[in-house]
Every structure is written in C-alpha cells, then in structure tokens.
Amino acid sequence: MMPSLLFLLKEGFVGLLRSRGSALMAIVTITVSLVLIGLFLIVTLNLNEFAENLKKRLEVTVFLDDSFDEDKTRRIREHILALQSIGSVDYVSKEMAVAEFREHSERLNVDYLEVLGFNPLPASFRLHPVAEFLSSGGVAEIVQQLEAIDGIEELDIKYEKNLLPLLESRLQVIVAIDIVIGVVLCVGALLLVSNNVRLIILSRERLITTMKLVGATPMFVQAPMFIQGFLQGFLGGIAAAVLLFLLTELAAVELPDIVAVGAGVYGLVVVLGILLGFSGSLTAVRRFL
Amino acid sequence: MKNGMIKIRNARMKYPGGDGLDHVNLEVAGGEFVYLVGSTGAGKSTVLKLIYMEELPDAGYVVVDGANSSEISRREIPFVRRKLGIIFQDFRLFEDRNIFENVAFVLRVTGARPRDIKKKTLRALAEVGLSHKSRKMASDLSGGEQQRAAIARAIVNDPLILLADEPTANLDPKTSVEILNILDRANARGTAVLMATHNYELVNYSSKRVVSIKNGRTLP
Ligand SMILES: Nc1ncnc2c1ncn2[C@@H]1O[C@H](COP(=O)(O)OP(=O)(O)OP(=O)(O)O)[C@@H](O)[C@H]1O
Ligand SMILES: [Mg+2]
C-alpha cells in the first residue's frame, strides 16, 4: 500500500499544479477568511482578558454590626474563610473606614464626621471570591452562603450588582457575532474550494472514467482530490497564520497593552484551513465523482 | 483449458436511445483466441463493455472468471477489471502523463512495488516496440504508436483475458500484422483474447474461432 500512497500524493500535487489558477483563488479565499476569523478571535480574546481583569476587582463587602465584640468578629471571619468560594478576606475597622472616607472626600471643605461627633461607619470584611465564582451565578451563591452565617444579614452584604451581568451579556453578544461571521466566512470558503475541486473533476471526467475501467477503485481516484483539498486548506491556513502574526506584531507597536496571541490561535487557524480544504473536496467528490 | 472464462448468456442491454444488444450468447475459454466480427454498429464494443462491466445487462447475465453480473457489487468490479486487459477502440490513453506512466498506471492501482512496476512496464513497452518513446506524451505519438501504447497498457499486468476492440482499424497492412503478432504472442503466454473487428477478410483467412454479431444479436 505504501508505494500507492506515494503515487497518490504525487498525483495530488501534480493535479494542484495543473489547476494552479483556480487553486490559487481558492487558497486566497481561505487565507482572507481565516485572517478575518483570526482577527475577530484576537479582538475577542483581548476583550475577554479585559473583562477578566475587571471581574477580578469585584469585592463583596460584609458590614459588621457595631455591637459585635472581637470574639464574634473572629468567629464570622473563620466562617467566611472556611468557604471554598472565597479566596481572601480583608478586615476594615471603623477607623480605617473613616480614613478611607476622608481620603475620598478630601476635596470637600466640610468634615462631616467632625460635625457629626461620632463615627457612623461600620467595620467590614472585604471578600475576594476565587476565579470560579466570578460570575453572576457564582456571586449569588456566595451571598447565600454568607447569609447562612450567624451574624450576617442580607442587608449587610454589598457588591457591585450590575458589573457581572453587564460584562457577561456584552461578551455573549460579541461571541455570537464572532460565531455568525465565522460560519459565514467558512461556508463561503468551503463553497469556493468545493467548486475548485468540482472543476478539476469535470475537466478530468474522461480520464477518471478510464482509470476506473482499468481497475482503479473509487478511493484511488478520489484520494488525489482529497490531497488537493487538504493542500489548498493547509497552504491557506499557513498564509493566514503568517499574516495574522505580522498584523499582531504591527498592532503591538501601536497598542503595547494588546494581549500577546498564543500559538494556539495560529494552530487553530491552520487546522481550520485544513478542515475547510478537506471538507470542500469531500462535498465535491461526493457530488461529482 | 479452463472453460467459461467469459460466459455471456441471453444478454440484452439497451442504451437510452433504444440501440444496443438484443440477444447475445458468447463463451470464451481460458487461453482461447476468438474473433467477434460484425459490421459497424452491430454491437461489438457494447459486448466488450458488458465483459468489463461498464454496462450491466438488462436481461441475461455475464460471467467473468466466476464473477456474475447479476450478483456482483460495485465494490468488486475494479477487481474483476484487474484480471482483464482492455484495448479500447479509441485508445483512451491518459493525456496528462507520458507513455511510461500510461502503462504503469494499471500496476499502480494494484499497489505493486515500484521495482516490479518499472520492470513490467519496460517489458510491455519493449513488447510493442515503443521503448524509445516511453517519455513522450500520448498526443505526441502517431495513431499506430498510440495503438501500440494502448496494447502495452492492456498486456502489462499479464491479464487472464485480453479484450481488443478493433486494434487494427486505420492501420496499414504491415502494422496490422505486427499488432496481430503481439496479440498472438500474448495468447501464446496463456492470455485468452477476444478481438472485435469488422474486417471479414482477416477473419475468413484465420483458423481461429469466430463469433458473428449482427444488429445486436450473436449468430448461432
Ligand atoms: N453510449 C451510447 N449511447 C447510446 N447509444 C449507443 C452508445 N454506444 C453505442 N450506441 C449504439 O449502440 C449500437 C451498437 O454500438 P457499438 O459501439 O457496440 O457498435 P460496434 O459494433 O462497436 O460498431 P463499430 O464497429 O462502429 O465500433 C449502435 O447503434 C450505437 O449507435
Ligand atoms: Mg465499436
């Protein structure tokens, strides 16, 4: 079987060279589609990274009643730390709360606290959830867990309620747009590859019939077509990966903060190219051979 | 001699236009040399198509070395064809490769080793006297040379049966004799030969068995 494999590979290469005009067009189509898909992917990854950073800043604050003594405060802290969902806990005393307040209201001339004559700000714990719980569902779960702790009431728990749902819905929209654009581009590229292989098949119809008449199996005449589709996709994928690399290098000069794209994106682009080329020739072979 | 290497029984095969075969009976034993003679349009090429199973009969059946047209599956047909050597009336050479690769193709589909492919291909080309043209493309050969290339491709894998469709048509008498000699030598090596021809003269002077076909019917 090995010698035939070499022969079929050669047939595939030679066939591609023979139809280089239309093959080049198919390859360019694949390249352009994959570059666009890759760019959308890179933008999405960057937005996602940005969103992840925003999420990490989310704090859940638990206010402590002024009546709690040191012992009770310590017990609540232990309960909180025992939760799997919480990464770290900072204690903010009444005094620290005042200091923070003063810092934030520096520009005001009147010191309200001085006027008031007592410290109305409660002590609090600031909780930093672990990454897996940084979603609207995760935070809701944390709130439930906190409410179960003796000494914490629903009203004592505060966090930026809108942040997570907003980020999540925006990301969903962006991912949906990515998918729609990706599918449209892939279908377009697939049709072009398929059409290219169809033209090769039609121009070689008599040749292919003769091959079968002298004992070639269907697989034997189809294999070169698959190899051609594969090569078109592979070359398109490689070209797209190189272009994407150059584009991100260029963008990095202007936007130093841009997230470096991992090798994964380039690999994905090449694999996608191969899949496109292969399935393009598969549809053509299925219909015309 | 093995009987019934080819066996066609009461076969009927109609093309969409209504032409074709009405009633064909034909038997070729292993190692035999048989002429299939008939005027143009009688159905000779169609009989050969039944044997290499490009067409299947509408009625009756065809058996080729034990493979019966009424039972065979599509997947088995390539393997039946590998037992045959076919010299097509219009040659059907591959226009996209040279003569060596035209002949070698028959061996390549079988997955033969490159060394054997080279040896057998060179031998077949020598047999038909085309060794010096092996690197030429088919379209660069004369009609007689193309005919010989087609024969080389048909005999390269030492087929059980050689199907020759008008292999001497349009050739001068000297070349025709050369071609008949090539077929005789293949026959002497044990290959059964079925040669379609409209050349009654040739057939009348030959001592070989003759089957006549007229208007899609073989004569008893
Ligand atoms: N593919 C086809 N479609 C429709 N009709 C066909 C086809 N091939 C052959 N025929 C018809 O079938 C009949 C037999 O044709 P066939 O080619 O078998 O004749 P033949 O004996 O080989 O003739 P020749 O000596 O001219 O080669 C003819 O009437 C021909 O017109
Ligand atoms: Mg004919």
What b/e string do you get for B150-167 counting C-beta neighbours within 10 Å, with b at 16 or more? bbbbbbbbebbbbbbbbb
- Rounded to the nearest angstrom, the distance between the alpha carbon of A113 and the centre of ligand 2 is 112
C-alpha count within 13 angstroms, C-beta hemisphere, residue B123: 13
Six-digit token pair at A85? Answer: 């969902």
Burial status of residue A136 (CB atoms within 10 A of its CB: 0-12, 13-18, 19 or more): middle
d(CA A71, CA B79): 90
List the single residue in B with minimal CA-CA distance to A204: B96
**pLDDT tens-digit series, residues B126-141:** 999 999 999 999 999 9
Of A18, A204, A215, the CB nearest to B109: A215
**DSSP H helices in A57-93:** 70-82
Q: Per the structure, how many domains does chain A have?
A: 2
**pLDDT tens-digit series, residues B65-89:** 999 999 999 999 999 999 999 999 9
Inform me whether the pLDDT recorded for B64 exceeds 90: yes
Closest residue by Cα to atom 14, ligand 1, is B43
Q: Name the domain boundary from A126, A159, A192.
A: A159
* pLDDT at B1 (0 to 100): 54
**Where on the phi/psi map is residue A151: left (φ > 0), alpha (ψ -120 to 50), or beta?**
left
Six-digit token pair at B93? Answer: 């050479």
* pLDDT at A108 (0 to 100): 64
Q: What is the three-class DSSP state of A19?
A: coil
Same domain, A74 and A12: no
Task: Determine whether the shortest distance from the Cβ of B198 to ligand 1 is under 6 A.
Answer: yes
**Treating both helix axes as pointing N-terminal to C-terminal, what angle do B143-155 and B114-127 enclose, rounded to 10 degrees?**
130
d(CA A167, CA A54): 9
* A10 contacts chain B (CB < 8 A): no
Residues of A in Cβ contact (< 8 Å) with B118: none
- pLDDT block averages, 10 residues each, chain A of length 289: 78 86 87 89 82 84 87 88 88 85 71 73 89 87 87 84 85 87 86 84 91 94 90 94 89 73 84 91 84
Instruction: Assess contact for A240 and A30: CB atoms under 8 A.
Output: yes
Domain assignment of residue A84, given as a range: 59-159
Same domain, A81 and A100: yes
Q: Read off the pLDDT of each residue in B46-74 and give the average, rounded to a whole number.
A: 96
Neighbours of A39 (CB within 10 A): 16
d(CA B149, CA B128): 7
* CATH code for the domain in which residue A126 is found: 3.30.70.3040
Range(s) within chain B of domains with CATH label 3.40.50.300: 1-83+160-220
Burial status of residue B196 (CB atoms within 10 A of its CB: 0-12, 13-18, 19 or more): buried
Q: Name the domain boundary from A159, A188, A211.
A: A159
Same domain, A142 and A265: no
The alpha carbon of residue B42 and the mean position of all alpha carbons in its chain are separated, in whole angstroms, by 17
More confident residue, B108 or A248: B108
* pLDDT at A131 (0 to 100): 86
Residue of B108, B116, B120, B160 to mutate for A, most A C-beta atoms under 10 A: B108
CA angle A202, A207, A208 (to 5 degrees): 75
Same domain, A134 and A210: no
- Rounded to the nearest angstrom, the distance between the alpha carbon of B12 and the centre of ligand 1 is 14
Contact A7 B108 (CB under 8 A): yes
Task: Determine whether the shortest distance from the Cβ of B38 to ligand 1 is under 6 A.
Answer: yes
Residues of B in Cβ contact (< 8 Å) with A204: 96
d(CA A68, CA A64): 7
Residues of A in Cβ contact (< 8 Å) with B121: none
Nearest ligand, CA B40 = 1
Query: What atom in ligand 1 is closest to the CA of residue B213?
Result: 21
Q: Name the domain boundary from A141, A159, A177.
A: A159
Nearest ligand, CA B38 = 1
Of B92, B110, B112, the CB nearest to A210: B92
* pLDDT at B33 (0 to 100): 97
- Rounded to the nearest angstrom, the distance between the alpha carbon of B23 and the centre of ligand 2 is 17
Task: Determine whether the shortest distance from the Cβ of B78 to ligand 1 is under 6 A.
Answer: no
- Rounded to the nearest angstrom, the distance between the alpha carbon of B41 and the centre of ligand 1 is 5
Task: Determine whether the shortest distance from the Cβ of B18 to ligand 1 is under 6 A.
Answer: no
Reported as a pLDDT band with limits 50, 70 and 90, residue B49 is very high
Among 3.40.190.150, 3.40.50.300, 3.40.1190.20, 3.10.129.10, name the CATH number for the domain at B1-83+160-220.
Answer: 3.40.50.300
* Mean of the per-residue pLDDT values of chain B: 94
Contact A3 B81 (CB under 8 A): no
- Rounded to the nearest angstrom, the distance between the alpha carbon of B20 and the centre of ligand 1 is 7
